[in-house]
Amino acid sequence: MASKRAVQLSLKMPTHAVCVVGVAAHVDVRSDVPKGANSFRVSGSSGVEIFMVYNRTHVTKPIGKARWPLDTDADMVVSVGTASKELRDFKVRVSYYGEQEDQALGHSMLYLTGVDISLEVDTGRTGKVKRSQGDKKTWRWGPEGYGAILLVNCDRDNHRSTEPDLTHSWLMSLADLQDMSPMVLSCNGPDKLFDSHKLVLNMPVSDSKRMRVFCARGGNSLSDYKQVLGPQRLSYEVERQSGEQEIRFYVEGLTFPDADFLGLVSLSVSLVDTGSLPEVTLFTDTVGFRMAPWIMTPNTQPPEELYVCSVTDTHGSNEKFLEDMSYLTLKANCKLIICPRVENRNDRWIQDEMEFGYIEAPHKSFPVVFDSPRNRGLKDFPYKRILGPDFGYVTREIPLSGPSSLDSFGNLDVSPPVTVGSMEYPLGRILIGSSFPKSGGRQMARVVRNFLKAQQVQAPVELYSDWLSVGHVDEFLTFVPTSDQKGFRLLLASPSACLKLFQEKKEEGYGEAAQFDGLKHQAKISINEMLADRHLQRDNLHAQKCIDWNRNVLKRELGLAESDIVDIPQLFFLKNFYAEAFFPDMVNMVVLDKYLGIPKPYGPIINGRCCLEEKVQSLLEPLGLHCIFIDDYLSYHELQGEIHCGTNVRRKPFPFKWWNMVP
Same structural domain for residues 260 and 314?
A: no
Question: What CATH number has the domain bearing residue 54?
Answer: 2.60.40.1860
Nearest to 367 by CA among 359, 378, 377, 379: 359
Give the torsion through C-alpha atoms of 531, 532, 534, 538, to 10 deg: 10
| Mean pLDDT across the chain | 95
Instruction: Note whether residue 419 is domain-resident.
Output: yes
CA angle (310 as vertex; 602, 570 as ends), nearest 5: 25
- Based on the fold, state whether residues 61 and 136 are members of the same structural domain: no
Contact 155, 391 (CB under 8 A): yes
**List of E strands, 81-147:** 90-97, 106-120
- Are 439 and 550 in a shared domain? yes
The verdict on residue 2 lying in a domain is no
Q: What is the CATH number of the domain that holds 128?
A: 2.60.40.1700
Beta strands in 552-645 (DSSP E): 565-569, 572-575, 578-581, 590-592, 595-599, 605-606, 609-610, 626-630
- Please give the Cα distance from 141 to 126 (Å, whole number): 15
Answer yes or no: is 335 within a domain: yes
Are 97 and 134 members of one domain? no
**Burial per residue of 384-409, b for 16 or more beta-carbon CB atoms within 10 angstroms, e otherwise:** ebbbeeebbbbbbebeeeebbbbbbb
Q: Cβ–Cβ contacts within 10 Å for residue 373, how many?
A: 19
Last residue of a domain, one of 268, 291, 314: 291
DSSP H/E element including 264? strand 264-273
Residue pair 157/173 in contact by the 8 Å Cβ criterion: yes
Q: Report pLDDT for 72.
A: 87
- The Cα–Cα gap between 14 and 159 comes to 62
Task: Specify the CATH number for the domain of residue 532.
Answer: 3.75.10.10
623 within 8 A of 491, measured Cβ to Cβ: no
Instruction: Please report which residue ranges of 195-340 form alpha helices under DSSP H.
Output: 319-332
Residue 1 falls inside a structural domain: no
pLDDT of residue 99: 85
Positions of the chain with pLDDT lower than 70, given as ranges: 1-4
DSSP β-ladder status, 595-599 and 626-630: parallel
Which residues carry out catalysis?
Answer: 352, 472, 474, 645
**How many folded domains does the chain comprise?**
3
First to last CA, the chain: 30
Do residue 35 and residue 127 come from a single domain?
A: no
Both 111 and 152 in one domain: the answer is: no
Assess whether 159 and 308 both reside in one domain: no
Q: Are residues 106 and 151 in the same domain?
A: no
Instruction: Give the whole-angstrom CA distance, residue 302 versus residue 298.
Output: 9
Residue 287 shares a structural domain with residue 377: no
Where is the domain boundary, 68, 84, 115?
Answer: 115
Domain boundary among 50, 83, 115: 115
Which residues, 6+ apart, have CB-to-CB distance to 508 below 8 Å? none
Cα distance between residue 587 and residue 564, in whole Å: 15
Tell whether 619 and 502 lie within a shared domain.
yes
Enumerate residues 6+ apart whose C-beta is below 8 A from 465. 406, 411, 433, 434, 471, 472, 473, 475, 476
pLDDT at position 4 is 56
Residue 191 belongs to a domain: yes
Q: Which residues pair with 418 in a beta bridge?
A: 425
Q: Give me the pLDDT at residue 404, please.
A: 94
Q: What pLDDT is stored for residue 232 in this prediction?
A: 87
For residue 432, give its domain range. Answer: 295-660
Q: Do 369 and 462 fall within a single domain? A: yes
Please give the angle made by the CA atoms of 74, 80 and 82, to the nearest 5 degrees: 170
